[in-house]
Amino acid sequence: MRAEAFLSSPKIGLAGLRESWRSDLLAGFQVFLIALPLCLGIAMASRFPPMAGIIAAMVGGLLVSRINGSYVTISGPAAGLIVVTLGAMEKLSEGDPIAGYHRALAAIVCAGLLQALLGILKAGRLVALVPASVVHGMLAAIGVIIMTKQFYVLIDVKPQGELLDDLVAIPQSFFKLNPEIALIGLVGLGILIAWEILKPRLKLCQKLCQWIPAPIVVVAVGLVLGLYFDLEHPHRYSWHSTFYEVGPGELLPIPQTFLDGFALPDFSPIGTLKFWTATISICLVSSLETLLSAAAVDKLDPFQRQTDLNRDVTALGIGTAVSGAIGGLPMISEIVRSTANINFGARTQWSNFFHGLFLLVFVALFPKLIHEIPKAALAALLIFVGFKLASPKEFYKTWEIGKEQLFLFVFTILGVLATDLLVGVGLGIAAKAGLHLVRGVKLKELFKIAYRLEQTAPNTVHVTLDGAAVFSNFLALKSELAELPKGKTVVFDLANASFIDHTVMEFLHEFCHDYKRNGGRCEIRGLDLHEPVSSHPLAARRRAEAVVRAFLEVEKQSDRIEVRLKGNEVMRALRHQLAMTLKGLPSGQAVCLDLRQAELPEQVIADIRRLCQEYEQTGGRLEILEPKPEFAKAASPQPRRKH
């Protein structure tokens, strides 16, 4: 634990302002430098006016920072919301982009109110029913969509229209690019890539990055190139005997006055299905991203403070509703800016407030400067953000947890790309439930968990799980554990759990970590009786006899009952468990392996001998007590007789 965790937490409210204003003011200014170009780019990608992104960040800083349940998060628009806000505008526009914008604002207001209601009713935890692999698959799909859409802005080529058509047409679109605009975008993208590669390797870059964020450098270089190419004035130029047109359309549009940047929502389509589809999509993504970000930021907080998730969901819902009511985008607790906020030394939510205040002052005093920013420079920022959401690292991290997690991850991506966000997430959840049924989880166990929570001693709570514990049924247990008093000993007995999926394993790990951090003790028993599906410590796992039952098929015929043993999974599970047991033993330890009562085929015994030889090569001493001849003979396969 970091040294700061042993210090008393900073004060909050006005007392916190008096105590921490210097560090929070500096952190707020540095976050403002990061937020400015990102807010503009997110608004542009959503086909909202640029001011919409600034409005959301201002509301997030000036209002949400005063009522939320977190300590160092930064509230504002996020790249993950681009797809749902853009989708809302396209669905509700009916061919009129301006009308679509005002109707999308109404959907944002309703989504914010719905999210606030979830927080007030303490129902924000319901989004935990969405499995982690499906959530990350959804975010990766959003990343692919952002990259696809913004690629055409970066090279100034008109897209095909449909997402999959745009994706397929990317290679041939290179032949149609506008050289000057593409140069601005590609230089910006090159700066971001170089910044990412050099930052961890060079101390000079680390110090530079603390004061000059990469997005500001991209925007500054874009401004210079835009002035050099004279984008303010419409003109034609030739390159390799081909003429191209550029002009103010390549720059961000700005309103005539500061107040002109605000707009009112149009609630006329509130009675339609497409309106509420858009509303629920915005609410779902906003709530999921907020909870993910809050959990991640809590781990980074040097003072180890815990976010009040329901209060945070409520506050961000109110902020989204207010933002939509005056012309802004929806908002979340944004992870990239929040991480930067902590790294810049923020101590309280006043840094969030100051970041919103700096944005307000900047757009009020320097609107002309915003107009000079080329769209291609902002497209480079968004392509880089989209790549991070769908990077190969995300695929690898999911694969490490287990093959079924990778399947769900990829399946959700394809589902979102082929249909839309809500349908894709629904398909991912259905696929996860289907996998559990295939693995032997009973249908009723998908929705109801069997557990006992007992106080076996004055300071000891015993939690016993029976049957299956999966993403769709553990909400009741999660809620009851959240009410446990601090400072006790919590013992989880999983010996009778037939199946524990990755979502529950991850929750148990996080719960134990947080509970210990707050002065309690946690112990998990019975996992040694289970077979993990991969080597990842939080992989899903089945009880050993559950593995056997999964490959033992019983079928009732008209005149008899057939019992069939299928596949070689039982023996493979035995070999894997023995290998894991030997691997976990102390090096150099003398071990006696007793096979005298083992009725195993010769091939399995040969595999066990090989595992033992590998253990001896690590310096251990191992004695094998061979099985009795009659056992080995009985277990060996008998040759078939010819008839």
pLDDT in the model for residue 572 = 63
**How crowded is residue 557: how many other Cβ atoms within 10 Å of its Cβ?**
7
Q: Quick: pLDDT tens for 158-177.
A: 987 788 899 999 999 999 99
Give the chain's residues under pLDDT 70. Answer: 1-7, 124-128, 202-210, 545-557, 559-589, 598-600, 627-643
pTM over 0.85: no
The Cα angle at residue 209 between residues 204 and 214, in degrees rounded to 5: 125
* Residue the block writes with tokens 């990259």: 147
pLDDT of residue 635: 46
In total, the chain counts a number of residues equal to: 643
The DSSP secondary-structure symbol of 598 reads -
Domain formed by 552-635, architecture? 2-Layer Sandwich (3.30)
Give CA angle at 49 (45, 51), nearest 5°. 110
CATH code for the structural domain at 443-550:
3.30.750.24
Q: pLDDT at position 631, please?
A: 46
pLDDT at 5: 41
> Looking at residue 641, what is its pLDDT?
42
pLDDT of residue 211: 72
Q: What is the pLDDT of residues 246-280, one digit of tens each?
A: 999 999 988 878 888 999 999 999 999 999 999 99
Backbone dihedral region of 321: left (phi > 0), alpha (psi from -120 to 50 degrees) or beta? alpha
The pLDDT, as a whole number, for residue 137 is: 93
Domain ranges of the chain: 7-401, 443-550, 552-635
Q: Dump pLDDT digits (tens) for 407-457.
A: 999 999 999 999 888 899 999 999 999 999 988 888 999 989 999 999 888
Query: Over the range 433-455, which residues count as b (16 or more CB within 10 Å of their CB) and which as e?
Result: bebbeebbbeeebbeebebeeee
Quote the CA–CA distance of 561 and 145 in Å, as a whole number. Answer: 53
Q: Is 131 left (phi over 0), alpha (psi -120 to 50) or beta?
A: beta
Per-residue pLDDT tens over the stretch 118-141: 999 887 666 667 888 998 999 999
Q: What is the pLDDT of residues 589-632, one digit of tens each?
A: 677 877 777 666 777 777 777 877 777 777 777 777 776 665 44
Phi-psi region of 34 (alpha: psi -120 to 50; beta: other; left: phi over 0): alpha
- Tell me how far apart the alpha carbons of residues 170 and 267 are, in angstroms, rounded to a whole number: 37
Domain 552-635 in the same topology as domain 443-550? yes
